[in-house]
Structure 1
Amino acid sequence: MRGLAVQRRRTGTIAVVSALGMTAVLGGCGLGGESGDVTLRLVAADYGDSKANSSQKYWDKLVADYESAHPGVKVDVSVYSWNDVDRKVKEMVADGDAPDMAQIGAYADYAHDDLLYSADELLSIPTQADFVSQLATAGEVDSTQYGMPFASSTRLLFYNKTLFSKAGLTPPTTWDELAEDAAALKAAGVKYPYALPLGSEEAQAETMQWLLSGGGGYTEDTGTYGINSPANIETLTWLKDDLVGKGLTGPVAPGKLNRADAFAAFANGQVGMLNGHPTLMKTAAAKGVKFGMVPMPGVDGPTKYSMGVADWMTAFKQNGHAEQIGDFLDFVYDEKNVLAFSREYDLLPVTMSASDAMSTAKQDQDLKPFLTELTGSELYPVGKVSWAEVSAAVKQRIGKAVTAGGSPSAILNGLQSTALMAESAE
């Protein structure tokens, strides 16, 4: 039974953003059941790559377990692909039919419009305190957490052990070593010595990993945008001159190479090195590729910070149901449920309890390097409403910065102007 302290946190107005999107219930109470029954609607993203491992299966089992112990609450889950889920939720909100919960890719715009419950209005104190600290912080707007992390990941430098062995190479720890290894791989006939996906699919991720490795990033320590910082200009200039300009990134221009294509090429044995997340392990292993993973090289050694990413659970205020939403989310974030989801989809847990369990479990040893990196990761500035526009601009323009006639400083100055204009419009 919940203590009084927890109950008090669940009274009053609520505004929460989460990574497990749950759809809102129509009306106030008694939908399809006895008087007093509540139906919560959850909209969630699909992390599966086939019908066999669709996220719908995960949610169906979790909901069945929850409902069996909570006869007065029903949870109706709708799962959409990542191509559709954010748009679906936006349409529901615009139509005045917000879901109770939505597990989606962003939360800041809804929080800005005062549509969400805050995490401390919903969750028990132990649940909220269990979030990995940097993920919880990334879910904040004006020091209040609206985005609840649901799934997380980070990046490591993957390298093809077979290709490295044939060329007599060891994994790089610095940029210069990476360039030297790439040159040796090129001389050995490797198609993509270093795959640099700066295409429109996910250029913002590859860009951020490189900016961090050069001591920069999208924002300054104060949280303000610093896209055109001297460190960032130096990083892109090095990429342009020392990798792309020397033909070390393969036959496809970085601005035309998407992450999915780069991963597929790695799994086909055509890539010497690239930045990858945990799901690449399974894809590469299935194709028989022997690979290793090391921290991203930096200017003088391994990078201090890696890029972390998270998807978010949000909870909308429109239909009320704060008490029921909070109770259900406490169940969602129980250690066994977080572990089950993370293991099913090769993602990193968003809670400390599940992370600790995974770090010591024999079955999860392949993920341990990513868990280590997550503790020193930096996430996109997702608490800014402007980030969506900035991210889209990066995808469209950043590839041009490393072309033969490109200007890293001009591209980054333009992106900084876009960011500042977008932020001033919030």
Structure 2
Amino acid sequence: MTDSGQTPLRVALLGGGVVGGAVARMLATQADDLAARIGRPLQLVGVAVRRAGKDRSETGIDPELFTTDAEALLDRADIVVELIGGIDRARELILAAMERGASVVTANKALLAEDGPTLYAAAAEHGVDLYYEAAVAGAIPILRPIRDSLAGDSIQRVIGIVNGTTNFVLDAMDTSGAGLPETVEQAQSLGYAEADPTADVEGFDAAAKAAILSSLAFHTRVASSQVHREGITSISSRDVQAAREMDATVKLLAICERVETPAGVGVSARVHPAMIPLTHPLASVRGAYNAVFVEAEAAGQLMFYGQGAGGDPTASAVLGDIVAVARTRVGGGHGPGEIAYADLPVLPMGEAITRYHVSLDVADRPGVLAAVAQVFSDQGVSIETVRQEVGGDGGGPRAELIIVTHAARDAALTATVTALAGLDQVNEVTSVMRVEGS
């Protein structure tokens, strides 16, 4: 049954930080337009915060709206917006809101990646909506296009830069030649990185987003624990220089794809740094921006680009979800829930198909290249290019071999690197990095 009355839809915010403040401001400044788009006005009935008495005048939110009693606030809401982050408390409040009949909008990627099925089940049980566009790539509309616009297509691959902090750091390393510690400090001074940047630089943030993207794209439940994760802490200025010499750049990528195996089709979800050629659209994504590249069977290649973080961009995505949820409440019914019918196996990293860029410090004497090439051949890995740079020191003549492989299973490539490290002719495996996008 539709609801054509003008009784406001009551909105409760859980969290009054940067994003919460921006959402509250937009609800106020765009009130008339939002009411026209929805068919009923929206009323902010409260903002739950952890501490009472804190000066929050900079948010512009009416001080009377702040409360530390989140549970009581849920009783007065039709739509609950969860922006507190974390796992346990956020899950508790979201489930409580749904039990009371409220639809939920959240930006909580960590919770969705860890326990999304529980939230979907609760939403279905209570006949409410769960929307979370802001959980991945900030203002970029990517989740709804994957879930809705491409619902009639078969997505083959999603590859993206989904963490603005690491993209800023790697871009700064590329343009300035500086090392990782200095660029992380620069990102912190500019507000792009937290005081503790672990979630970003170790890839945890991107892995949670990869889990969400994989789940939607391939109609299969993928948890963040099933996503192979490597951060950028091992990337050196020499790695960035090596990429430049290949007309490439280094990016932290989230890669979600269908993979054909002898046992059938599976899902590969991984986050790691990789070299991508400068000709690839993702190579031009600079600073703290995000971009997601989607490859679908019928639609072909699609790219979504924009600001991946920040108060206003994230609030834009949150507000879009609020409008979508409000429209379904006014019109009756609810939006799409979890679609995990495919239930494809999530493959280990060893089954992923990729390429390697390997740098070796070797003795500069006859037979070394042949011995190295034999190791690749033994593992069934084909070499695309080899470059040698000759040097030397008091320990005798040395050379650096720089090898780029053709595509192969990651397990075979890893085994190749392990075997190379054991060769007498190899002094050190100085660098290993995957190559994507070509």
Common fold: TM-score over 0.5: no
What's the TM-score, normalizing by structure 2?
0.30
What's the TM-score, normalizing by structure 1?
0.30
By relative contact order (CA 8 Å, sep 6+), the higher-ranking structure is: 1
- Which of these two proteins has the greater Rg computed from alpha carbons? 2
Bigger helix share? 1
